[in-house]
Structure 1
């Protein structure tokens, strides 16, 4: 599948389902009350493949992002300087083999010591998996993942030094030791499966559980981590979130902000599962992929996979 065909699949499978809501006055409004001062702070280059997919924050406010199509890891300082830290090797086979039609870097997390862990999907067995980049070092694959899958969301549980990986094609959450080694299928619950395109997507560790979104199903799921590290019963926390990608907790209990990729929106999801749209394309979103917080500042990445216009970093203030 070429990149063009991938964009067509997203348009047909996600945007069509949300077209009615995109056109309503409620979602076309510039901003809802919970957020203010929305503005684009960084514009990225489509021609250079700078389609930002995921984000991890450092204590000093710097951000680390994956540029999916460029196969790169980049650092964005608080002042806005962009520095490329690594470019992953291209697959030797020139055939486009991932379900999205191109090799891409996806989820990224930062450990307390500054080590970056990130995911790379190529459709080839020699490169697909979990990678590590230590400060000043070179990228190294530490765990292989199935080449026929799409490792996408990534989270680190520092209490157990365990990485969790959401596979959007295989409908699986993998667990991998942060030191490296063989992955374990931690959960293959049916709620993680796709409905024809992409299933399990964004992933976070929060309050003793693994939280994961399902793009095709438009859901937020919670899976408790049981004693011994095993997966508990899947609980559906929110529904009706068309094209949901990655997300971030706001610091107010289970409240979270979620990127809705196809509709170019950000939703504020309450602990009871209800949600409201708080950012739209009118604010500058262009197929948003992920959300992060730096204090009361919300950072949203847009990859422009379908719009083909202005991949960017948008910031806004989260109001109390």
Structure 2
């Protein structure tokens, strides 16, 4: 989703909205309940949480876009700054004009990777050691692109970064090196004004032998299979009508997704057949939600033999009418045997 400073032309964004299509509730599908905001952040300090990666203990690593920081927030809401990306004298980032810490991913050893969009040679993927410290740039990406979501495929040691302006999914070795334009095509491209806002490929996740990508302007969720030789297979559209979709997360092993709809202040449950329904709203505390994470470890057992997990939703309050950047947690309940554990 476009990462706009507070005084952006919200009227332009509003004009691009359409009615959210939704499908009927399916019996036995995951349910979301008990939403609660556990941490509030300061917009004036640039604490606009953009992306999220979880720690084994349930703490959340967040990229604070306009503060150029990575922070760790525990489940009680205590916040600690892990790293600050270097300042850029004359940032010229497409879409937003400012330097911003964007997508974040975590390796099993605790290493964090973060996209830094600047419009300069600092644009690229940066590595932060376990526990924090000085970030190190491991890959330089085109300055005229807009790096957004980031995902790590630890099995093959590759990072995937979504470029919203160039309509590209970049592939970079985890240890750093030369980026490869792994996937391109119309489905990843933004739409020109006034049909779109100039933001195409946005969120990115690695799941079940494929790289999944959201396209904000086209309101779609895409699946790109990873072929045996690790090249990109044909792009398939898995869901449409997702207005202002940002980043997303899978609820488990299946293809059910929770997607952040940033401008509508909603999170939608997207089913494997492409239908969807809203499960969290502004009334629950959402304030321009940017991404979603699901803690895989079961947090307990709910009613009727259901497994309970925890959903995390950062909100950045990018738009002028919303004023509460925060982190929201909720309960995700799934029936045994759904294949979503």
Shared fold by TM > 0.5?
A: yes
d(CA) in 2 for partners of 1:143, 1:286: 32
Show the counterpart of 2:186. Answer: 190
Indicate which of 117, 122, 127 corresponds to 1:121: 117
Indicate which of 124, 130, 134 corresponds to 1:135: 130
Instruction: Tell me the CA shift for residue 101 of structure 1.
Output: 2.1
Show the counterpart of 1:267. Answer: 268
Show the counterpart of 1:233. Answer: 234
d(CA) in 1 for partners of 2:11, 2:273: 30
> Are the aligned partners of 1:163 and 1:175 in contact in 2 as well (CA < 8 Å)?
yes
What pairs with 1:214-293 in structure 2 (closer than 5 Å)? 214-251=215-252, 253-293=254-294
Show the counterpart of 1:303. Answer: 316
Unaligned runs of 5+ in 2: 193-197, 299-308, 335-341
d(CA) in 1 for partners of 2:333, 2:154: 29
Q: CA RMSD in A?
A: 2.1
Instruction: Give TM-score scaled by structure 2 length.
Output: 0.86
d(CA) in 1 for partners of 2:178, 2:83: 24
Unaligned runs of 5+ in 1: 27-31
Show the counterpart of 1:52. Answer: 49
Does residue 66 of structure 1 match 2:80?
no
Q: Which has the higher helix share?
A: 1
Show the counterpart of 2:328. Answer: 314
d(CA) in 2 for partners of 1:11, 1:212: 27
How many residue pairs were aligned? 308
Show the counterpart of 1:172. Answer: 168
Instruction: Give TM-score scaled by structure 1 length.
Output: 0.91
Show the counterpart of 2:306. Answer: none
- TM-superposition CA deviations, 1:136-188 (whole Å, max 9, x none): 44210000000000111101011110000100010000000000001000011
Show the counterpart of 1:207. Answer: 208
Instruction: Tell me the CA shift for residue 319 of structure 1.
Output: 2.1
Does residue 18 of structure 1 match 2:13?
no
d(CA) in 1 for partners of 2:71, 2:101: 11
d(CA) in 1 for partners of 2:5, 2:61: 24
Show the counterpart of 1:3. Answer: 5
> Are the aligned partners of 2:152 and 2:206 in contact in 1 as well (CA < 8 Å)?
yes
4+ residue segments displaced more than 6 Å:
none
Instruction: Tell me the CA shift for residue 73 of structure 1.
Output: 0.4
Against the structure 1 CA distance between its residues 88 and 275, is the aligned structure 2 distance closer, same or farther, given a 3 Å change threshold? same
Instruction: Tell me the CA shift for residue 64 of structure 1.
Output: 0.4
Show the counterpart of 1:152. Answer: 148
